[in-house]
């Protein structure tokens, strides 16, 4: 798959590469003599600092697992993941996860107010959790300081999702990993979240790796697309700029919805 | 047949009259089409055979009065309790046999040693008349609470995977991320014991006290033993469930603070 890397743009120097995935495979051990279940097979790609990569593919293609390999929530059985040039197995995983914040499909808010949720940060991280910093984080995701005292349970889905993004921002991440961040939201809320992500990317120079089926998010992010089917890379294309020059027929068909994802 | 002091021995004919009660049950089951006739008959036969076997074993252990026979019986009882606890788990937990053996074995050993050696001060310490029934009560309760705790832990880990992932993604350790599920599992296993303490003696007379009174003990002696038993079981169930959950939850986490989702 290394060939795919350089097909549409010159091979980037290692210096500005934030994630570099090489020959990554992942299989779960089989139960009682069953063969292992292969989830990802020989996946390689690179994401440069400040750019974005969108993982697309049908359900069960291993996109979410691949995303979780980047912040080491999942462990590859073969191959390596480098973060800023260093193999992530040599990094403290808890520190890595703050550098690359993960946003889940279903926003998880813990019991309590929005303030409690934003302050939900590990003690070791020594994050700045002053009122002004919390308020600023909320403003960055399109909410305001008035939300701090709101009970998390009373928020709409879109507001919840934006609070979880704000919470990730307090870890001062260099990258955001988005696992279908808009899939559980209605269209207006999804649009707001897409807007928030696009704005953050601009203002923070964040690197974004996203799993999504949402055309708006794909187009907002631009960057490159990695098309996975059954754990294998089928296509890798970049759609930088406004020209949507996707050449791979299967990827085209998939994005056009001719091969709709199976509902889990 | 010579009966034990204070209790009226039952003749085979008298037992036969008790079996007649089950005969009535079988008739009711057939009449009401409950479909339980077969189970009732098998259950009746098993009750008679199992208890007779236990009686014969106990009688010979009591007669020899050797400590190693007592220890041998205790080990056998622990093995059966472990097997029963494991078989009650709805989904297998990796390493469940070792975990259940340690949880049930340690909780029973500690509680039994305290009650026999420190509280009741039985001489000699292996006096089977005391050790075996007390160990049986402890084992039975430790077994139930370990299985309850294990089941609850597993279903909570499965139902709350998002919550665990959200915590891990924020940079919390694996231990921090599963703490709420560990707490809930231990609580769930302890609640029956604790609420039992609230109504003990009011709703029904506990089994051991009933037995002692039937055997001719003075009620004021019987209640003292029952008080010891209640506290002993409270300790045994909490230690067993705590140990089981602590050991089991470790199987779902890796040193790199990852959740082994494929085990859930």
Could you give the CA distance from residue B178 to residue B252 in angstroms, rounded to a whole number?
10
Mean pLDDT, rounded, for A220-233: 91
Q: Do A108 and B168 touch (CB under 8 A)?
A: no
Cα torsion through A84, A86, A92, A93, rounded to 10: 70
Instruction: Say if B35 is an interface residue toward chain A (CB within 8 Å).
Output: no
Cis check for the bond before B124: say yes or no (omega within 30 of 0).
yes
Could you give the CA distance from residue A216 to residue A220 in angstroms, rounded to a whole number?
6
Whether A184 has a pLDDT exceeding 50, the answer reads yes
Spell out the long-range contacts of B23-29 with Cβ–Cβ below 8 A and sequence spacing 24 or more.
none
Find, among A141, A208, A122, the residue nearest to A173 by Cα.
A208
Could you give the CA distance from residue B264 to residue B262 in angstroms, rounded to a whole number?
5
Q: In what order do the strands lie in the sheet with A52-56?
A: A100-103, A175-179, A207-211, A52-56, A224-229, A232-238
Instruction: For residue range A5-28, list pLDDT tens digits in order.
Output: 333 444 444 458 999 999 999 999
A226 near A172, Cβ under 8 Å? no
Give the number of residues written for chain B. Answer: 264
Confidence of residue A1 (pLDDT cuts 50, 70, 90): very low
Find, among A134, A135, A132, A131, the residue nearest to A144 by Cα.
A135
Confidence of residue A244 (pLDDT cuts 50, 70, 90): low
Mean pLDDT, rounded, for A171-179: 93
Whether A131 has a pLDDT exceeding 80, the answer reads yes
Whether A241 has a pLDDT exceeding 70, the answer reads no
At A15 the pLDDT is: 58
Q: Do B254 and A75 touch (CB under 8 A)?
A: yes
At A6 the pLDDT is: 35
Could you give the CA distance from residue A164 to residue A173 in angstroms, rounded to a whole number?
13
Q: Which of A74, A164, A171 sits opposite B258 (nearest CB)?
A: A74
Could you give the CA distance from residue A169 to residue A118 in angstroms, rounded to a whole number?
10
At B201 the pLDDT is: 80
Mean pLDDT, rounded, for A106-115: 95
Q: Do B163 and A108 touch (CB under 8 A)?
A: yes
Q: What is the pTM of this model?
A: 0.83
Mean pLDDT, rounded, for A178-190: 90
DSSP H or E run through A238: strand A232-238
Q: Taking an 8 Å Cβ-Cβ cutoff, which residues of chain A contact chain B?
A: 28-29, 37, 71-75, 89, 93-95, 97-98, 101-102, 104, 106, 108, 110, 120-122, 124-125, 164, 167-168, 171
Q: What DSSP state is assigned to residue A156?
A: -
- Mean pLDDT split into 10-residue runs, chain B, 264 residues: 63 90 92 90 93 91 90 94 91 91 96 92 89 92 94 94 95 96 94 86 80 89 89 94 95 95 86
Q: Which of A73, A95, A106 sits opposite B169 (nearest CB)?
A: A73
Q: What is the DSSP string of A22-71?
A: EEEEEEEPPSTTPPPEEEEEEEEEEEETT-EEEEE-STTSSHHHHHHHHT
Whether A88 has a pLDDT exceeding 80, the answer reads yes
Instruction: Say if B220 is an interface residue toward chain A (CB within 8 Å).
Output: no
Whether A222 has a pLDDT exceeding 90, the answer reads no
Could you give the CA distance from residue B162 to residue A260 in angstroms, rounded to a whole number?
25
Sign, CA dihedral A133-A136-A141-A147, equals positive
At B73 the pLDDT is: 92
Whether A149 has a pLDDT exceeding 80, the answer reads yes
Mean pLDDT of chain A: 87
At B247 the pLDDT is: 96
- Min Cα distance A213 → chain B (Å) is 20
Question: Which tops the pLDDT comparison, A5 or A176?
Answer: A176
Q: Report the percent of chain A where pLDDT is more than 70.
A: 89
**Which ranges constitute the DSSP H helices of B65-173?**
67-88, 96-113, 128-159, 161-169
Q: Which residues contact B2 (CB under 8 A, 6 or more apart)?
A: B9
């Amino acid at each position: 798959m290394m060939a795919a890397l350089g097909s549409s743009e010159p091979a980037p120097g290692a210096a500005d590469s934030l994630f570099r995935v090489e020959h990554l495979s992942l299989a779960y051990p089989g139960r009682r003599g069953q063969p292992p279940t292969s989830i990802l097979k020989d996946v390689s790609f690179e994401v440069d600092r400040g750019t974005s990569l969108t993982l697309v593919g049908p359900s069960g293609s291993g996109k979410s697992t691949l995303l979780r390999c980047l912040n080491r929530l999942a462990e590859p059985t073969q191959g390596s993941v480098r973060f800023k040039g260093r193999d992530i197995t040599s990094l403290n995983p808890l520190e890595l996860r703050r550098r690359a914040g993960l946003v889940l499909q279903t926003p998880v808010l813990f019991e309590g107010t929005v303030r409690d949720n934003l302050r939900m940060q590990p003690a070791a991280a020594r994050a700045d959790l002053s009122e002004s910093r919390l308020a600023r984080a909320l403003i960055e995701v399109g909410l305001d300081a008035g939300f701090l005292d709101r009970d998390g349970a009373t928020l709409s889905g879109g507001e919840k999702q934006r609070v979880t993004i704000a919470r990730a921002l307090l870890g001062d991440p260099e990258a955001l990993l988005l696992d279908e961040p808009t899939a559980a939201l209605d269209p207006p809320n999804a649009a707001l979240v897409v807007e928030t992500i696009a704005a953050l990317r601009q203002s923070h120079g964040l690197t974004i790796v996203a799993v999504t089926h949402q055309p708006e998010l794909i187009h907002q992010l631009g960057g490159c697309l990695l098309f996975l089917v059954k754990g294998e890379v089928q296509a890798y294309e970049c759609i930088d700029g406004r020209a949507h020059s996707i050449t791979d027929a299967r990827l085209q068909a998939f994005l056009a919805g001719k091969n709709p994802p199976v509902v889990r | 047949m010579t009966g034990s002091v204070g209790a009226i021995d039952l003749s085979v004919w008298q037992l036969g009259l008790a079996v007649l009660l089950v005969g009535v049950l079988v008739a009711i089951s057939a009449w009401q089409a409950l479909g339980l006739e077969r189970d009732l008959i098998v259950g009746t036969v098993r009750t008679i055979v199992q208890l007779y076997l236990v009686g014969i074993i106990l009688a010979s252990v009591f007669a020899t009065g050797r400590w190693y026979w007592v220890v041998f019986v205790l080990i056998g009882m622990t093995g059966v309790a472990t097997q029963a606890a494991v078989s009650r788990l709805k989904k297998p937990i990796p390493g469940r046999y070792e975990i259940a053996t340690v949880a049930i074995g340690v909780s029973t050993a500690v509680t039994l040693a305290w009650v026999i050696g420190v509280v009741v001060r039985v001489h000699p310490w292996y006096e089977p008349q005391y050790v075996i029934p007390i160990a049986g009560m402890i084992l039975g309760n430790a077994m139930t609470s370990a299985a309850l705790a294990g089941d609850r832990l597993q279903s909570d880990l499965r139902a709350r995977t998002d919550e665990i992932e959200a915590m891990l993604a924020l940079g919390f350790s694996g231990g921090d991320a599963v703490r709420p599920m560990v707490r809930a599992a231990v609580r769930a296993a302890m609640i029956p014991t604790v609420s039992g303490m609230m109504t003990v003696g009011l709703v029904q007379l506990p089994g051991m006290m009933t037995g002692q009174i039937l055997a001719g003990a003075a009620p004021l002696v019987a209640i003292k033993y029952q008080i010891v038993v209640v506290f002993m079981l409270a300790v045994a169930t909490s230690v067993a469930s705590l140990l089981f959950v602590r050991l089991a939850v470790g199987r779902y986490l890796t040193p790199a603070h990852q959740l082994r989702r494929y085990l859930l």
